Amino acid sequence: MSGLAVGEFPTIPASGVSEGNARTQCAAESGPDSATDVASQRATQALSRAEWQSVVFGLEPSRLDLLALKPSWPLRSLRVVVYRNSGVELFTPLLSRFLAYAGYDADFSIGPYDDSLSFEAASQADLDLVWLDPERYRLRDGDFVEWLLGRFRFRRSIVDRPILLAALPGVLDSAVQAALDAAISELAGVVTLPLAELQARLGEAFYDRDAARFTGSPLSNRAAIEIARALGLVWMPPVLQPRIKAIAVDLDGTLYGGVLGEDGADGIRAAAGHVAVQRTLKSLSEAGVMLGMISKNDPTDVAALFRDHPDFPLRIEDFAFSAVGWGSKAAAVRGMAGQFRIAPDAVLMVDDNPGEIASAAGAVPGLRTLLAADPDDAARALTWYPGLVGYGVGAADLVRAADLGAAAERDRIAAEATDTSAYLRSLDVKLTFAVDPVRHRHRLHELSMKTNQFNTSLARLPEAEVGRRIAAEDCRVISVSLADRLSDSGVVASIQTRLASRTLVVDEIAISCRALGRGVEDLIVGISVLKAAAELGACRVRFVAVEGPRNDPGREYADGLLKEAEADEGAVIACLRSRVARVRGQVRVDWEDVS
């Protein structure tokens, strides 16, 4: 089944372009002449993507069905360099379809068969994929791990982009495999792919060594399809794009069968597929994805529904946002994003009604959508949806919901407080700073990639670059953690600095939106910059500020400081000292030992 053809769209580079930006560019180039046309085009594209669901999320996707798919929505170009000693041609044509569903136009540059991993022809790309069959190496012991680690250290030293390593499973001794995984995990931005999990699922059907004579790979057709699906939907998106942070869930027909307003709570039944959808949503919620309920129903009926159905895995308390009424779902999604302090493109809408999907997708640029017309299909789709799975569960994910839950209480305290000092004192705010903290490397990379509002330069630093800066003598990388008596927000800020001719260049300040408006911006920036300047012996401070679509707060903060210093970079340090002194006494400040 192919998507509806609604026009050809240009592709744009994957690096450094937000999805919202991509859509704007594409719309402008394909020439719709009014906002209505653009909304209509987005709605049609959402329905086209929904048509792909039965294939890409199918129980056993067919090669032919996948090859027949043609995307009709804007795609970001993605250049993947493949280094290999075994055939990948078996799955790359399928991988391009899964990546298209995830929003990418993949271009594979496939190198020659090379057991030595010489990494020749390093070209511009967004991602390296290293595909190895360990069977081809005579020695597969600790020396092999050391040699492989050396090759990856070399590769890491010459490129910053993410590197994915896939070694065919079941060949290496389990202790050697564990040693390899542990050694590789120490390298910034290098990820080993859990092919063994797929092998465990497919069992003997994973390999088809007879086929290797014409496919160049020992993989079976089924394994090739599943590997393409895992790569395109689960393994590659996490190194290319931010995670979906919230799911807007419909009720009738999505979480259960029946219409609440007509059948009443007693007449509602959850089939096995509905229960599976609820269970999956519940586990996503436990992994830090926030849930919102968006339903055209009566709020009292909904309260009765959850009260009268203890059999539902999801409870009403699992929803951090609720919009139950008769307004538009697009407005509800915007309200939910606002309350969660996230961009609408970090929201996935799940609804069984294609009309609602089309309407919301048309009205909310960047909104991701999943049509839940069939509950069994929807439950499976939620375990594969790109941007939703494969990210692991970081500390930041786990604290997000609790932190936002405390936001309302903070707002109340702020309204009652006479000034910022009283507000900070009443919350018992604590900031913990760390200089060059290797253990926060991934979180600092996340902050650079994800923050849009208070991000001064949108440098979007790869994890490898953050690691390089942490180790560099002439750089200081500062992380800042924030806690108060209501919640622990974890690491909320990243400050990237370097010394250039006695000037401290602040390449990027990235502060999570969860920390904004809490009266601590001056302390976060001031203490970090003053510390870095002191350690590096800088007497001037220069902020790198780059204009982006949504980063006015960050840029204006940097511009404001420079204005206060009357455009004198030498006077910025005094301005920062003065700002810090104003609130320093109201907040506990601590330094983390990173040695």
Partner 1 sequence: MVEGLIEARVRCVMSTVLDRPLDGVASDAQGSWDSVDWINILLSLEEAFAVELRYLDDWERIDTIAGISEVIARRTAC
3-state SS, residue 200: helix
Residue 292 CB, shortest distance to partner 1, in Å, is 40
Residue 81 CB, shortest distance to partner 1, in Å, is 17
Give the integer Cα–Cα distance in Å for 376 and 3. 21
Name which position in 35, 59, 64, 415 contacts partner 1 (CB under 8 A). 64
Residue 288 CB, shortest distance to partner 1, in Å, is 39
Closest to partner 1 by CB, 68 vs 316, is 68
- Binding map of partner 1 across residues 207-236, x = CB under 8 A, - = no contact: ---xx-xxxx----x--x------------
Residue 213 CB, shortest distance to partner 1, in Å, is 7
Q: Does 93 bind partner 1 (CB under 8 A)?
A: yes
Q: Does 359 bind partner 1 (CB under 8 A)?
A: no
Residues 13-42 within binding reach of partner 1 (CB under 8 A): none
Hey, what are 244's tokens?
Answer: 């979906």
Q: Does 5 bind partner 1 (CB under 8 A)?
A: no
Helix count and strand count (H, E) for the chain: 24, 18
CB-CB contact of 127 with 240 (8 Å): yes
Residue 55 CB, shortest distance to partner 1, in Å, is 13
Q: Does 53 bind partner 1 (CB under 8 A)?
A: no
Where does this chain touch partner 1 (CB under 8 A) — which range of 58-66, 266-274, 433-441, 526-534? 58-66
Q: Does 54 bind partner 1 (CB under 8 A)?
A: no
What secondary structure does DSSP assign to 443-512, as a single string? HHHHHHHH--SEESS-----HHHHHHHHH-TTEEEEEEEEE-SS-EEEEEEEEEEEEETTEEEEEEEEE-
Closest to partner 1 by CB, 64 vs 415, is 64
Angle between helices 19-30 and 35-56 (to 10 degrees): 120
Closest to partner 1 by CB, 63 vs 468, is 63
Backbone angles phi, psi at 257, to 5 degrees: -90, 145
Where does this chain touch partner 1 (CB under 8 A) — which range of 11-19, 62-70, 73-81, 186-194? 62-70
CA-to-CA separations, 503 to 7, 172, 250, in angstroms, rounded: 51, 51, 54
Residue 103 CB, shortest distance to partner 1, in Å, is 21
Name which position in 51, 89, 135, 376 contacts partner 1 (CB under 8 A). 89
Q: Does 62 bind partner 1 (CB under 8 A)?
A: yes
Give the integer Cα–Cα distance in Å for 263 and 581. 63
Residue 214 CB, shortest distance to partner 1, in Å, is 6
Nearest residue to 429 (alpha-carbon basis) of 480, 482, 481, 484: 484
Give the rounded distance of the alpha carbon of 114 from its chain centre.
33
CB-CB contact of 489 with 399 (8 Å): yes
- The residue type of 153 is R
Q: Does 90 bind partner 1 (CB under 8 A)?
A: yes
- Residues near partner 1 (CB under 8 A): 62-64, 67-68, 89-90, 92-93, 210-211, 213-216, 221, 224
